């Protein structure tokens, strides 16, 4: 399907994409670049990439598909660095967790070449990072949201959809703004809460003793707190307004629970927990929406 | 080791205990009672108990070990109901998630027989309930905290420790008050936050669409939100002061993150996330405490 992948950022997300494409026989050659030369070298040693490029620009040379898998805050500089070798035939995607800022960065950096760019967000990840943890199955069975700009070429958008589908993903399309509002609620907020949970514990005197007593519920609840700090710093800042709005929704719900507890109102408390419990028990990851909507 | 287990409450926790004891050959016969006759019948059909008792009192008749596995708020009434058949040779335990209230209930209900009672909290559970989900491995490898009253007989305490150890658990002892303070932090608070997360979402107009987009991070973060409403209503009310104190710690940590986001302070935000991420990445469930302390 593709001749050469130019991979910029050979970490968990980028490395997993390259391995998935290779395994599916969808690309013949992967030329990779990471900011850290040791990462690029490690990616080649692991067979994740075939050729090390000395720069982002040279990773793009001769590629018919490019994946930019860098922290979202580095998107604009990366796209600027490769702009001179971008061709109209080239499909360029990213994997960032925020999309309005990425689209804005692409407009600024790519200008007339923006038709090649298909912003993508695969709903996949792990709490560890680095090419050592890359996994050709990271994206299998996951959702991928494409958020085309108004100037993205339809042909590229369709090829992107076809590609992710071939990797076993379920693909949907949203506007960048609707994407960011939704993921503030279901991804960015939970991460922020998990960070706050850990810090609220750590800042107590007996933190070590408390942590030694924690069990499986705590383990799962806080798993995402181990996520990459720089990546999540960028995500929370890039989507600041939506994240803070979702935090207000959460705190209102928390105060309802606290109010019922303070007032010893067992019926109100049971009703609130029942609402949460039923909603969660009936949720299935990746289930179809009940109605098609203008998210 | 024991002749007859009297099981009061044949749900997930009680049923799993009976199955673990039987599999380990530690008990010859299980007589069970649940408030709902259909549950008791189902437990017998599944082989979790051998004999159905028509009342809590009759489940205790002839038992040398009794497990009270009912919602914590029902502990006092349950112990009152069985008091007349409690003997000094009998080991009585519970599995409640809060301990100060259980100890108080035992003092009131058992009076002179309180020497038989060893309050126990196995740090195990699932987000589903009912005897159908009982599992002889539920407690394997988990921690169990024993919180003896000042009048618990040493012989019973030692037998309880021996029993849980034989089931593959790591047993430790704490005061009821220290237990409740610690578990407010590492268990009750995460549950309350998971409930609030779900309700903050559910109360938004586009809840269905938002939920359809949620991925693996959300799945793990909210798993405990599906827990049993009545059980958690009782836990949060029984441990109200400690839970509210932990919620204040959490909210202070959340406001630190919000403040850094609002002020676009990328270094402060990265530092806060790094603290959380490192703490979580270095945590291992059930690892020994760094120092032995007076928790």
pLDDT in tens, B101-151: 999 999 999 999 999 999 999 998 887 889 999 999 999 999 999 999 999
Average pLDDT along chain B: 94
Contact check, Cβ <8 Å, A220/B217:
no
Tell me the shortest Cα–Cα distance from B85 to chain A, in angstroms.
Answer: 32
Helical (H) or strand (E) element with A172: strand A170-173
Q: Which of B208, B217, B276 sits opposite A289 (nearest CB)?
A: B208
| ipTM of the prediction | 0.85
Q: What are the phi and psi torsion angles at A205 (to 5°)?
A: -60, -40
Q: Which of B174, B194, B216 is the last residue of a domain?
A: B174
Tokens of B19: 């199955």
Q: Which of B142, B217, B243 sits opposite A187 (nearest CB)?
A: B217
Host domain of residue B83: 2-174
Tokens of A136: 């050709």
Tokens of B109: 């209900």
Q: Are residues B183 and B58 in the same domain?
A: no
CATH number, domain at A250? Answer: 1.10.3660.10
Tokens of A127: 């709490």
Tokens of B192: 């309350």
Q: Which of A225, A233, A262 sits opposite B244 (nearest CB)?
A: A262
Q: What are the phi and psi torsion angles at A164 (to 5°)?
A: -65, -35
Task: Please name the residues in contact with B220: beta carbons below 8 A apart, sequence gap of 6 or more.
Answer: A220, A221, A223, A224
B276 vs A contacts (CB less than 8 Å): 194-199, 202, 225
Q: Locate the chain A residue with the closest alpha carbon to B287.
A: A212
Taking the C-alpha atoms of residue A208 and residue A205, their distance in angstroms, rounded to an integer, is 8
Contact check, Cβ <8 Å, A252/B210:
no
Q: Are residues B34 and B158 in the same domain?
A: yes
Q: Are residues A126 and A37 in the same domain?
A: yes
Whole-number pLDDT of residue A127: 73
Query: What DSSP state is assigned to residue B185?
Result: I
Task: Please name the residues in contact with B190: beta carbons below 8 A apart, sequence gap of 6 or more.
Answer: A197, A217, A218, A221, A222, B224
Q: B289 in a domain, yes or no?
A: no
Q: Are residues B85 and B168 in the same domain?
A: yes
Kindly give the confidence (pLDDT) of every residue in chain A, 295 residues in length, as a single tens digit, with 9 standing for 90 and above.
Answer: 899 999 999 999 999 999 999 999 999 999 999 999 999 999 999 999 999 999 999 999 999 999 999 988 999 999 999 999 999 999 999 999 999 999 999 999 999 999 999 999 999 878 788 999 999 999 999 999 999 999 999 999 999 999 999 999 999 999 999 999 999 999 999 999 999 999 999 999 999 999 999 998 999 999 999 999 998 999 999 999 999 999 999 999 999 999 999 999 999 999 999 999 999 999 998 775 544 333 3
Q: Are residues A182 and A102 in the same domain?
A: no
Whole-number pLDDT of residue A288: 56
Q: Are residues B164 and B54 in the same domain?
A: yes
CATH number, domain at A60? Answer: 3.40.50.720
Neighbours of B77 (CB within 10 A): 12
The total domain count for chain B is 2
Of B11, B12, B266, the C-alpha closest to A71 is B266
Q: A295 in a domain, yes or no?
A: no
Whole-number pLDDT of residue A213: 93
**Segments of chain B scoring below 70 in pLDDT:** 288-295
On whether the CB atoms of residues A102 and A119 are closer than 8 A, the answer is yes
A243 vs B contacts (CB less than 8 Å): 261
Q: A100 in a domain, yes or no?
A: yes
Q: B139 in a domain, yes or no?
A: yes
Q: Are residues B50 and B152 in the same domain?
A: yes
Whole-number pLDDT of residue A291: 41
Residues constituting chain A? 295
Q: Are residues A46 and A66 in the same domain?
A: yes
């Amino acid at each position: 399907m593709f001749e050469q992948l130019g991979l910029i950022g050979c970490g968990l997300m980028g490395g997993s994409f390259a391995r998935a494409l290779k395994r599916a026989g969808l690309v013949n050659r992967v030329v990779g670049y990471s900011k850290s030369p040791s990462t690029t070298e490690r990616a080649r040693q692991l067979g994740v990439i075939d050729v090390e490029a000395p720069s982002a620009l040279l990773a793009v040379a001769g590629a018919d598909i490019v994946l930019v898998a860098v922290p979202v805050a580095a998107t604009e500089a990366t796209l600027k660095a490769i702009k001179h070798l971008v061709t109209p035939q080239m499909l360029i995607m990213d994997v960032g967790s925020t999309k309005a800022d990425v689209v804005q960065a692409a407009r600024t950096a790519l200008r007339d070449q923006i038709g090649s760019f298909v912003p993508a967000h695969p709903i996949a990840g792990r709490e560890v990072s680095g090419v050592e943890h890359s996994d050709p199955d990271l994206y299998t069975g996951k959702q991928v949201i494409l958020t085309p700009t108004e100037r993205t070429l339809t042909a590229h958008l369709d090829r992107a959809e076809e590609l992710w589908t071939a990797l076993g993903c379920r693909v949907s399309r949203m506007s960048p703004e609707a994407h960011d509002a939704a993921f503030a609620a279901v991804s960015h907020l939970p991460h922020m809460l998990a960070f706050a949970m850990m810090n609220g514990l750590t800042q107590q005197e007996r933190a070590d003793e408390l942590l030694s007593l924690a069990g499986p519920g705590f383990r799962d609840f806080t798993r995402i707190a181990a996520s990459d700090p720089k990546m999540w710093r960028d995500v929370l800042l890039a989507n600041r307004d939506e994240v803070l709005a979702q935090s207000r929704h959460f705190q209102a719900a928390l105060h309802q629970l606290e109010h019922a507890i303070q007032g010893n109102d067992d019926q109100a408390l049971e009703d609130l927990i029942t609402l949460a419990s039923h909603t969660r028990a009936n949720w299935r990851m990746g289930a179809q929406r009940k109605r098609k909507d203008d998210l």
